């Protein structure tokens, strides 16, 4: 009889111990799930915060474009004025990247299309977008996408940034010149003489300014690296300008 009571005591002890462990496991699992939910909520909040910051910077760059783009300088040999729009887009490529640069510039286009005086010469409206220089306005979308892509893809290679800017401008020029030539009833080559060649020195200077500004203010380059960068950018940009001029 004592043997049976002893065995029953052991069984009760084992059952209580097992029940205690089961409760501990359940509590631990519940705590783990709770921690997981908290981490997920924190990550979601962080993504939302980052998204808000990106939207703020994108809107700020759109505002800067609206301020600088209308400050255009007409030249007598062409209906296309000298503007700072592409310079702003060069900075966009570094600050926003590909997608947000395109989004910021498209927002600028929409603001100008609905009538705000944000296009060159403080003009706006659908007529400006569909006029002879409208192809260049639309072509800047390609510049934002291509320059932004090269900056994102090759973040530490300045010469690749320059190549991206030059390729972006080339696509913009090709699209804009075809549009201009069609509007004015001239050949594509004649369109290049009117809408591209006069602007190559200025665009070269804008690329150099953008690269140097980013190097000094964002990357924090030393004096030696800045000088080397100036030389590299100047050689590449002038080479591209000379090639385009003789083509």
Q: State pLDDT tens for residues 135-178.
A: 999 999 999 999 999 999 998 888 899 999 999 999 999 999 99
Check residue 220 and give its pLDDT.
54
Decide which of 43 and 85 is more confident. Answer: 85
Decide which of 73 and 178 is more confident. Answer: 178
CA distance 171 to 178: 11
What's the pLDDT band for 231 if we cut at 50, 70, 90? Answer: low
What's the pLDDT band for 50 if we cut at 50, 70, 90? Answer: low
CA distance 107 to 59: 9
Q: What are phi and psi of 94, to 5 degrees?
A: -80, -40
Q: What is the CA angle 168-170-174, rounded to 5?
A: 120
Check residue 82 and give its pLDDT.
87
What's the pLDDT band for 212 if we cut at 50, 70, 90? Answer: confident
Check residue 104 and give its pLDDT.
95
Q: What are phi and psi of 119, to 5 degrees?
A: -85, 175
Sign (positive or negative) of CA dihedral 185, 188, 192, 193: negative
Q: State pLDDT tens for residues 85-129.
A: 999 999 999 889 999 999 999 999 999 999 999 998 899 999 999
What's the pLDDT band for 39 if we cut at 50, 70, 90? Answer: very low
Half-sphere exposure of 6 (CA within 13 A, CB side): 3
CB 139 within 8 A of CB 175: yes
Query: How many other CB atoms sit within 10 Å of the CB of residue 85?
Result: 25
CB 197 within 8 A of CB 245: yes
Average pLDDT over residues 187-209: 92
Instruction: Please determine, for residue 214, whether its predicted confidence score (pLDDT) is greater than 70.
Output: yes
Length of the chain measured in residues? 247
Percentage of the chain exceeding pLDDT 70? 67
CA distance 202 to 83: 10
What's the pLDDT band for 13 if we cut at 50, 70, 90? Answer: low
Decide which of 48 and 192 is more confident. Answer: 192
Q: State pLDDT tens for residues 21-33.
A: 554 444 444 454 4
Instruction: Please determine, for residue 66, whether its predicted confidence score (pLDDT) is greater than 50.
Output: yes
CA distance 179 to 85: 18
Tell me the CA end-to-end span of the chain in Å, nearest whole number. 111
CA distance 236 to 3: 97
Instruction: Please determine, for residue 83, whether its predicted confidence score (pLDDT) is greater than 80.
Output: yes
Q: What are phi and psi of 154, to 5 degrees?
A: -125, 70
């Amino acid at each position: 009889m004592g043997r049976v009571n002893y065995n029953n005591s052991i069984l009760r002890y084992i059952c209580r111990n097992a029940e205690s462990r089961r409760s501990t496991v359940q509590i631990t699992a519940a705590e783990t799930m709770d921690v997981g939910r908290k981490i997920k909520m924190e990550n979601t909040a962080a993504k939302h915060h980052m998204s808000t910051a990106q939207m703020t910077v994108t809107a700020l760059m759109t505002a800067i474009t609206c301020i600088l783009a209308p400050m255009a300088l007409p030249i007598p040999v062409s209906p296309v004025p000298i503007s700072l729009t592409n310079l702003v887009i060069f900075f966009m490529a570094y600050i926003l990247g590909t997608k947000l640069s395109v989004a910021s510039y498209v927002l600028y286009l929409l603001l100008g299309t609905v009538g705000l005086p944000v296009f060159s010469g403080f003009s706006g409206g659908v007529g400006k977008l569909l006029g002879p220089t409208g192809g260049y306005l639309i072509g800047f979308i390609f510049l934002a996408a291509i320059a932004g892509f090269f900056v994102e893809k090759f973040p530490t290679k300045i010469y690749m940034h320059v190549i991206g800017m030059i390729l972006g401008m080339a696509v913009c020029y090709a699209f804009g010149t075809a549009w201009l030539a069609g509007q004015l009833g001239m050949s594509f080559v004649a369109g290049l003489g009117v809408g591209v060649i006069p602007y190559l020195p200025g665009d070269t200077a804008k690329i150099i300014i953008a690269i140097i500004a980013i190097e000094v203010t964002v990357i924090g380059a030393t004096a030696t690296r800045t000088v080397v960068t100036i030389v590299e950018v100047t050689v590449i940009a002038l080479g591209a300008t000379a090639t385009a001029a003789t083509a």
